């Protein structure tokens, strides 16, 4: 152990007659610990919200979408084969999308009807439905009021759509397309009945209140597309690499076909979340800065109380940089103890929030019932390093002041 570190440790252990000095040091350490703990907990909760929101969005949104211009023929099987060979692509599946009106009794709801592959597509719809999607590919029997039986294809509705239509699983709904079908009597809207085989709840009102899913061939028949599709949904091995994957996929599709990804579609939302997290970090960092002023006060008082010791050390050959190192080590030790204590306290609190869920959120305001927590070793380490840097910076002025003490002046006056 170097003698600056050894003496720095001795100076932090104040004697009984220096109890006030020891108290200020304890307050500074506790302030650092509270600041680090608060920062870690808030950043973990914000990361939890961001991760939970991303999972909910990606549950019903493909990582990459290949859109075909209206009226253009697309050889979907060939395109899917080429896309699946692209590095980073996990799966690809065709889809059909169109705007329709759903009706049940006197209730109406305008939704986006999507035809998807019931055997497995590029989204995680099955997880939100709570089962598989095989029922979409089957026709289901429905007993009419007059006792007759009809066979209807299946449809999956968003939770809020089902609530608006006042239907549950097993109830029929009527799908009406605003694009009419020409007849001898004029244009007649296309109408078809479906049976509700599932209700999904993503927690995102943008999806739960605006989307319905049917089997891909049924959507093609309803919209009279033949073998045409609206585009191809792509799922990636790593959704965070969507931007790079989009560029690679764009090289294997025809000219004029639009390739977009979920980061572009929801970029504004996640940029706002990142800005909010940065603002919280800066604001809560003020707690650490306030504690740093206590470190300055503590070390200045130590310098004033140890003037004789500093003079003796310099008289014995200690250089100014050694004297400065004593107080830099003292500030670093205060920060180290505070950062370590705050990180441990933050880890325990985050674990308790995740394990026991004792903070409940109103369901009519938030899409989650409790605080989501996602702890990151990088985040905890980064907060601790920032706190240590602030503590070292706070010790520079007292260390410089101690290094400038002249032994002759101290001996002459004391």
Contact status, residue 93 vs residue 122, Cβ threshold 8 Å: yes
Distance, in Å, from the CA atom of 344 to the CA atom of 60, rounded to the nearest integer, reads 37
Distance, in Å, from the CA atom of 246 to the CA atom of 259, rounded to the nearest integer, reads 7
Q: How would residue 67 be classed by pLDDT, with cut points 50, 70 and 90?
A: confident
171-175, 315-319, 393-397, 405-409 — which is least confidently predicted?
Answer: 405-409
Q: β-strand 211-215 against 107-116: which pairing, if any?
A: parallel
Average pLDDT in the 20-35 region? 80
What single string gives the DSSP state of each residue in 280-326?
Answer: HHHHHHHHHHHHHHHHHHHHHHHHHHTHHHHHHHHHTT--HHHHHHH
Examine the pLDDT at 411 and tell me if it is beyond 70: no
Question: Which pLDDT does position 121 carry in this prediction?
Answer: 67
Q: How would residue 145 be classed by pLDDT, with cut points 50, 70 and 90?
A: low
> What are the pLDDT digits (tens) for 155-167?
999 989 999 999 9
User: What letter does residue 198 receive in the DSSP assignment?
Assistant: E
67-81, 148-162, 227-241 — which is least confidently predicted?
Answer: 67-81
8-22, 30-44, 45-59, 257-271 — which is least confidently predicted?
Answer: 8-22
Give the three-state DSSP class for 138.
coil
Question: Which pLDDT does position 348 carry in this prediction?
Answer: 96
Q: How would residue 174 be classed by pLDDT, with cut points 50, 70 and 90?
A: very high
| Mean pLDDT across the chain | 83
Question: Which pLDDT does position 373 carry in this prediction?
Answer: 92
Please tell me which of 138-147, 203-212, 217-226, 381-390 the model is most confident about, judged by mean pLDDT. 381-390
Examine the pLDDT at 184 and tell me if it is beyond 60: no
Contact status, residue 343 vs residue 380, Cβ threshold 8 Å: yes
Question: Which pLDDT does position 166 carry in this prediction?
Answer: 92
Question: Which pLDDT does position 351 carry in this prediction?
Answer: 94
pTM of the full structure: 0.78
């Amino acid at each position: 152990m170097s003698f600056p570190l050894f003496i720095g440790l001795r100076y932090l252990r104040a004697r009984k007659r220096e109890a006030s000095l020891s108290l200020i040091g304890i307050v500074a350490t506790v302030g650092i610990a509270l600041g680090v703990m608060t920062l870690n907990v808030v950043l973990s909760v914000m990361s939890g919200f961001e991760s939970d929101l991303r999972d909910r969005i990606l549950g019903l949104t493909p990582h990459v979408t290949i859109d075909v211009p209206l009226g253009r023929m697309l050889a979907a099987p060939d395109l899917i084969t080429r896309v699946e060979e692209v590095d980073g692509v996990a799966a690809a599946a065709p889809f059909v999308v169109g705007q329709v009106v759903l009706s049940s009794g006197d209730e109406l709801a305008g939704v986006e009807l999507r035809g998807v592959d019931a055997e497995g597509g590029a989204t995680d719809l099955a997880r939100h439905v709570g089962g598989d999607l095989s029922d979409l590919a089957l026709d289901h029997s429905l007993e009419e009021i007059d006792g007759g039986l009809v066979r209807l294809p299946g449809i999956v509705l968003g939770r809020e759509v089902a609530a608006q239509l006042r239907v549950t699983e097993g109830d029929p709904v009527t799908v009406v397309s605003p694009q009419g079908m020409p007849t001898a009597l004029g244009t007649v809207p296309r109408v078809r009945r479906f049976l509700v085989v599932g209700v999904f709840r993503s927690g995102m009102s943008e999806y739960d209140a605006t989307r319905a899913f049917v089997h891909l061939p049924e959507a093609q028949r309803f919209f009279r597309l033949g073998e045409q599709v609206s585009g191809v949904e792509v799922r990636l091995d790593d959704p965070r690499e969507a931007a790079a994957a989009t560029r690679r996929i764009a090289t294997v599709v025809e000219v004029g076909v639009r390739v977009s990804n979920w980061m572009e579609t929801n970029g504004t939302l996640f940029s706002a979340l990142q800005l909010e997290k940065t603002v919280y970090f800066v604001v809560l960092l003020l707690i650490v800065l306030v504690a740093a002023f206590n470190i300055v006060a503590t070390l200045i008082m130590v310098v004033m109380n140890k003037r004789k010791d500093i003079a003796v050390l310099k008289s014995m050959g200690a250089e100014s940089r050694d004297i400065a190192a004593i107080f830099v080590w003292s500030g670093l030790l205060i920060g180290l103890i505070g950062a370590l204590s705050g990180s441990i306290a933050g880890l325990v609190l985050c674990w308790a929030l995740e394990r026991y869920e004792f903070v409940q959120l109103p369901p009519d305001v938030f899409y989650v019932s409790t605080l989501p927590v996602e702890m990151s070793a990088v985040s905890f380490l980064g907060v601790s390093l920032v706190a240590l840097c602030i503590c070292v910076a706070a010790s520079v002025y007292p260390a410089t002041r101690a290094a400038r003490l002249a032994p002759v002046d101290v001996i002459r006056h004391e």
